[in-house]
Each structure stands twice: as structure tokens, then as C-alpha cells.
Amino acid sequence: MLLLDTHAIICIAQGEPIERRARRAIEAARSEGGVLVSPVSAWEIGLLVVKGRILALAPTPAEWLARFLAQPGVREAPLTMRAALDSSFLPEPFHGDPADRMLIATARERDIPLLTRDRTIIAYASETGAVRTIRC
């Protein structure tokens, strides 16, 4: 299993190239029904659309995300109360972005890697060992 971060979802959905290791990890996780998407990413995608940082997702962001979740092996990973609380107590130093913190806490809670291209998260994982990442 693995958890996709928000930008990984967008890249995969738009067919952007991803690293070979990431592609293999996704294929393996799909076969086990374990490509996970957090509701935190839905919130973040909505904000990106509202702020004009990504193009409008057709026909609506909700339908776009529903189509992504309908792919074989992809499913929702609920944000639990534990992960929400744990996101406040991640090993420091780390920035205050609530989406990144909750995604990391969710991956930690499930003991699975976070697929990301976010350099800050990758550096944090490398420096602290607080979460496993796969660069996409």
C-alpha cells in the first residue's frame, strides 16, 4: 500500500511522467487495492482550484476526483482522529502546512510510504526518518 500526496494525484491523473520506482510502486499497490487517497487531498485540490493554481477540473473537481477514485486499486484513506492529532506532534523541524502534516501523519499511522514530489517532504523524511517517501 501507499498514500498519494495531492500533487502526485494531479500528476498521475494528468498523465505526467513519473519516476520508474514510483510507477512500479503504484502498479504493485494497485494490484493489492492499496493506492490510497486522503480526504485532505480533496480539500487541497478544492483550494488549488479556487485560488486558480490549477486549471478547473472537468466537469467539476468532485467528479474529477470521483473518477480518479474509481480506478482499479484506488481507494479513500479516511483521515482518522488519531492522525489529525498526531499531525500536530510530528518530529520537528517541519513547516506548518496542515495538508502536508496530515498526509504524513496518515502515512505514519498506516505505516506506508507517501508518494510525493514535494522536496520539503522528501527532505524531512530523509532528515528525520519520520515517514517513508517514494519520489514521483
The domain 2-135 is classified under which CATH number: 3.90.45.10, 3.30.365.10, 3.40.50.1010, 3.40.50.1980? 3.40.50.1010
DSSP structural state of residue 54: S
Dihedral sign for Cα atoms in the order 5, 10, 14, 16 = negative
Name the percent of the chain lying above pLDDT 90.
85
pLDDT digit string, tens, across residues 30-85? 988 899 999 999 999 999 999 988 877 878 999 999 999 999 999 999 999 999 99
Q: Is the pLDDT of residue 86 over 90?
A: yes
Predicted local distance difference test score (pLDDT) of residue 57: 80
Predicted local distance difference test score (pLDDT) of residue 59: 86
**How far is Cα 131 from Cα 40, in angstroms, rounded to an integer?**
17
**How far is Cα 58 from Cα 116, in angstroms, rounded to an integer?**
23
Collapsing DSSP to helix, strand or coil, 105 comes out as helix
Predicted local distance difference test score (pLDDT) of residue 33: 83
Question: CA separation (Å) from 15 to 18, 40, 70, 94, 97?
Answer: 9, 22, 16, 30, 26
Could you write out the DSSP letters of every residue in 12-34?
HHTT----HHHHHHHHHHHHTT-
Average pLDDT over the chain, rounded to whole? 94
Q: Is the pLDDT of residue 17 over 90?
A: yes
Q: Please report where in the chains the cell 496530515 appears, as a residue.
A: 102
